[in-house]
Amino acid sequence: MAVPVSQAWTVATYVLKQKLTGRKKYPLVLMLEPLFRCNLACAGCGKIQYPAHILKKDLSPEACFQAVEECGTPMVAIPGGEPLLHPQMPEIVAGLVARKKYVYMCTNALLLKEKLHLFKPSKYLSFSVHVDGQREHHDMSVCREGGYDIAMEGVRAAVAAGFRVTTNTTLFDGADPNSVRAHFDELMTAGVESMMVSPGYTYDKAPDQKHFLGRARSKKLFRAILSNRKKTWRFNASPIFMEFLMGKKDLRCTPWGMPTFSIFGWQKPCYLLQDGYADSFKELMETTVWSNYGTESGNPHCANCMVHSGYEASGVNYTFGSVKGLLQTAKAIFFSSYKDDDAKKLLVEWKPTHGPLVKITEPVAVKQESNDLQEVSGD
């Protein structure tokens, strides 16, 4: 299976409980951002473009635990920034595992191999490694030569040490579906548990604004990638969300499905947009005008979004929303090859429409925070 049976059961019973109690707006995954600083400056990222005094700040373990208890979700994703730069990350992870939360600690893996000894393997902990494609594409995406080799070395070391390891791949305009499919083979050979794939989001602060996918191009790209799947591929995503990426399902965004807590508080409305902050999860849910968000709202910031953090919860909600949803999900699980001759033709005829991503010669965050990062990483 793509996830352990115990995790699948925990999530399923949690969602069914929300349904049975009539709760229409409930969180699925808490996006816990304990810091924004990073040892990379990816061209498509809008998270590290903060001034130096913000990049120096961390959430305390106590603040993290309080947010988790407030939110009540069974799953916690820890993005950033780079979480391994947080000096108390092992304590935060251990505290969440002790609370029996399923933790996905997102990392670019540049420090993973040297930090592994600070963590203990557990069914509740997965290192979610950011790998954006095969070597050349990944290194260009993260604006660092050799980044792919270091990340994959970290993946293999974590797998060998007995940790759960998943991956997160973000695709931009110009991605070659043939290369992405070969990338999936590489990840499975390396022993990762499962993979997540999603189109990039158009952060206003991202240095490269030219290569974000529109919806039509996203569906074409993902149809080519995800049709005619190999049996060896395992994905860490709702089957319905995957069908949505391929253009086979229409889903409405669930902006409250993956609420974000960071050094600024509870981010309105979601992980991808910043329209203010709330002091509590209750305030976030009750004061955010949710109708202002999602493709159907007419909000231009949501027009092309098909990102996992907005639509994975929608896929899960679709699954458990009706008998039809359950049956369609079951069919997607047991008949998951998605044979498609036209998609095969797309792979053969695919030609890149754009050049590579913008390459930043010197990572902005590293330049601003060089002393701080060296102190944390021990370099």
List, for residues 324-363, the tens digit of each pLDDT value.
Answer: 999 999 999 988 899 999 999 999 998 765 555 444 444 4
Amino acid in the structure at residue 12: A
Architecture label for domain 27-377: Alpha-Beta Horseshoe (3.80)
Separation CA 233–CA 1 (nearest Å)? 10
Q: Is 269 left (phi over 0), alpha (psi -120 to 50) or beta?
A: alpha
pLDDT digits (tens, 9 = 90+) for 168-220: 999 887 789 999 999 999 999 999 999 999 987 654 444 444 444 578 889 99
- C-alpha distances in angstroms, 174 versus 200, 213, 229, 354? 12, 9, 21, 5
Separation CA 328–CA 341 (nearest Å)? 22
State the chain's mean pLDDT as an integer. Answer: 88
DSSP letters spanning 271-288: SS-EEEEESSHHHHHHHS
**C-alpha closest to that of 26 among 326, 305, 301, 282:** 282
Separation CA 193–CA 97 (nearest Å)? 19
Separation CA 44–CA 47 (nearest Å)? 9
The Cβ of residue 78 has, within 10 Å, a number of other Cβ atoms equal to 25
